[in-house]
Amino acid sequence: MGLTNQQSREIKQLLREQIRHKLSNYSPETTNMPFHVRLLGKDRMALFSFIQSINTTLGMSVFEQVAVIIATPNFRRAIRQYKDFNNTISEGAQAIIQRILDDLRSGRKKPDKLTEIADILRAAQGEQIKKVKRPGIDLFLESKQGVEYYFDIKTAKANLGGIVGLKREILEWVAIRGVVNPTPNIFTGLAIPYNPYEPRPYDRWTFQGIFDLTNELKVAEEFWDFLGGENTYENLLGVFEEVGIELRPEIDIKFKTFANK
């Protein structure tokens, strides 16, 4: 499997549009960094700022859009920034979630997402139901077998406090979904589009003790190949490289203009 020719064309066009839009609207940050500028040059500092901006764009929207392009032929539904989600939760389910987090942080229990889901769903339709802020789902998928997948796409390395917050978030998605359907076939977890530790294996120890690594975390090729089948990740890297080579002259021309400013 992997990317089809049509998917490759769509992703290339998306990347071209995003990069060219950034180039046409880009102006360097006005923060004064005189030592950096004199050491590295204005053009390199401008390029550094541009790369940071691209990194934000990839994390906030491009990876989501690429995921939908890849997943659409293989899933019944593939939606980014999924909004069709309930915003109520039972107090009983919230109490279960807090107990799960307390047990994980203290080491009394090891993460077991399937058990956690079952415990939450048993309390999800309790008598005390209250409204909460409607969750933002980066990527929603429904398989052809009816399994619902809810992903938070993350590119930054998280600290322990952030990891506990992420765990609470994806457990709450289960509880919120359970108010509407007491028996959903559901997966909630994190998708990490690339391994920042490459070529070393992804440093999963950060998530150990809090996340069920098998059932809550998909990293790099594990995520992309899940969406599109074997070799999707390698195909996707090739597409990004081809667009990068194509646009390199435009990028170079843009940043030469900052050299003597």
Judge whether residue 87 has pLDDT over 80: yes
Count of helix runs (H) and strand runs (E) in the chain? 10, 7
Residues 121, 100: Cα–Cα separation, whole Å: 13
Residue 75 dihedral angles phi and psi, to the nearest 5° = -130, 155
45 pLDDT band (50/70/90 cuts)? confident
Q: Are residues 154 and 244 in the same domain?
A: no
Q: Are residues 258 and 212 in the same domain?
A: no
Q: Are residues 99 and 47 in the same domain?
A: no
Judge whether residue 68 has pLDDT over 80: yes
Residues 96, 94: Cα–Cα separation, whole Å: 5
Mean pLDDT of all residues in 212-233:
95
The dihedral through the CA atoms of 197, 200, 202, 206 has a sign that is negative
| pLDDT 10s digits, 130-140 | 998 888 899 99
Mean pLDDT of all residues in 98-112:
96
Q: Are residues 50 and 81 in the same domain?
A: no
Q: Are residues 158 and 218 in the same domain?
A: yes
Residues 194, 196: Cα–Cα separation, whole Å: 6
Q: Is the pTM of this model over 0.95?
A: no
Q: Are residues 107 and 212 in the same domain?
A: yes
Range of the domain at 65: 1-69+236-261
Judge whether residue 168 has pLDDT over 60: yes
